[in-house]
Structure 1
């Protein structure tokens, strides 16, 4: 389950996970690696900002900082909007 976005903040979405065969891995691997690089960068930057300034960066700050990364351009537009 996951909470819906800003359009429906009090709506809980039911999601289902299902296994995919290894033959589809090459299709998703570039996107998964790009998202992983952005997530790790956001997590590292967030911890460093908290350590140095005793505050957590906002979502807008993270997006502004990492939007120029090459990995961001590798993501589909729907994912890139929610990467950090």
Structure 2
């Protein structure tokens, strides 16, 4: 029998941390900015500087955070915005 290691039953960020032994799916801060078709809704700037950032997709059912842009969008992607990695 194959078991998924993905915690599909999580209902919040803290719930997922509890089910995964405190693991988090975050490694470096990132800023993603659409340059052509940003509309402030589904195609918008994402700024994720910590594991529980408001723009981050935090658990499997966190679909309100989904963002999508036109296929011909161009993005500026900045790793470690602000110039440093926070612990």
How does the TM-score come out when normalised to structure 1?
0.21
Structure with the larger RCO, 1 or 2 (CA within 8 Å, 6+ apart): 2
Q: Going by fraction, where is helix more abundant, 1 or 2?
A: 1
- Which structure has more strand as a fraction of its residues? 2
TM (norm. structure 2) is 0.21
